[in-house]
Amino acid sequence: MHDFYKERGLEVPKPAVPQPVPVSRGRPRKVLGSVFRIPPELDISILLEFIGANEGTGNFKPLEKKFVRVSGEATIGHVEKFLRRKMDLDPTCQVDIICGDHLLEHYQTLREIRQAIGESAVQDGLLVLHYGLVVSPMIVT
């Protein structure tokens, strides 16, 4: 490495000094925390409740965890993408997401939904979203 920098007329960087790793006795501690933290005033905890699937939606995996904490800026489109990936949904399957008696649009943020619908959308501090699966209508061109 030294020769590489010298041949090019560059300053040779100083080697990094290894930092001592504290030795702890007992339970191992988690060294690295999350790189990205959502400020508490901006996050929203949601409860995803499955309400059913129409015939023909194909096979899908049940959602393992129905409690999710995300940014209030996340949209219904993000929630749908999350559901599609976790449940391994067929591309022809349409995901309808409902809060209260409102069918939600992809562009709506979770914070907007919580403010618009109010406390009737919240259960034990969680924004309750119901989702169902239907077969997408065929597009004829």
Question: Mind listing the pLDDT tens digit of every residue in the chain (141 residues)?
Answer: 667 767 777 777 766 555 555 555 666 555 555 555 656 656 899 999 999 888 877 788 888 889 999 989 999 999 999 999 999 998 888 999 999 899 999 999 999 999 999 888 999 989 999 999 998 766 444
Ordered structural domains, the chain, with CATH: 37-135 (3.10.20.90)
**Alpha carbons 75 and 112: distance in angstroms, whole number:** 9
pLDDT given at position 50: 94
Backbone angles phi, psi at 127, to 5 degrees: -75, 120
Neighbours of 82 (CB within 10 A): 17
The whole model's pTM is what? 0.68
Distance (Å) of CA 115 to CA 46, 110, 119, 122: 14, 9, 8, 10
pLDDT given at position 33: 53
pLDDT given at position 140: 44
**Alpha carbons 79 and 127: distance in angstroms, whole number:** 12
The Cα angle at residue 91 between residues 62 and 114, in degrees rounded to 5: 65
**Alpha carbons 4 and 6: distance in angstroms, whole number:** 6
**Residues in a beta bridge with 52:** 132
